[in-house]
Amino acid sequence: MSILFHHVSVPRPPGPESASAARHFYIDLIGLKEVPVPDALRQLDLVWFGVGDGELHLYAEPSSAGHGRHFCLRVIDQAEVRARLSAAGVTCTDTIAIPGRPRFFCTDPFGNSIEITTIQSSN
């Protein structure tokens, strides 16, 4: 049996300003592509992005608190993504090194923690 993630949902503040900030961060800085929200959900304040075969959903929530929760994006070259984020003023922080998996953490404009990694080996 194969089990795969379909999507991850994380909060953002309600409104068009945070939707624009989400698009800038996830499209312009991370490199994702926006995917359409289904018509049945169009009335909700959602922004969706494609991530490989899965999706990242940002939903509107007035406030959230969740220490330690994060999602991880596997990219071809984490150093290149880090440089782009840093150039845009996003703080990137190192964490405990994992051999064969260079990685760092950053936060999106809404405080969601994101791990960015490249898998070089399966150690």
Question: pLDDT tens digits for 52-71?
Answer: 999 999 999 887 665 567 89
What's this model's pTM, rounded to 2 decimal places?
Answer: 0.79
Domain architecture of the chain: domains with CATH? 7-62+69-117 (3.10.180.10)
Comparing CA positions, the residue from 59, 116, 58, 65 lying closest to residue 92 is 116
Q: Which tens digit of pLDDT belongs to each residue from 8-46?
A: 989 999 999 999 999 999 999 999 999 999 899 888 999
Torsion angle of the four alpha carbons 99, 71, 113, 87, in this order, in degrees rounded to the nearest 10: 70
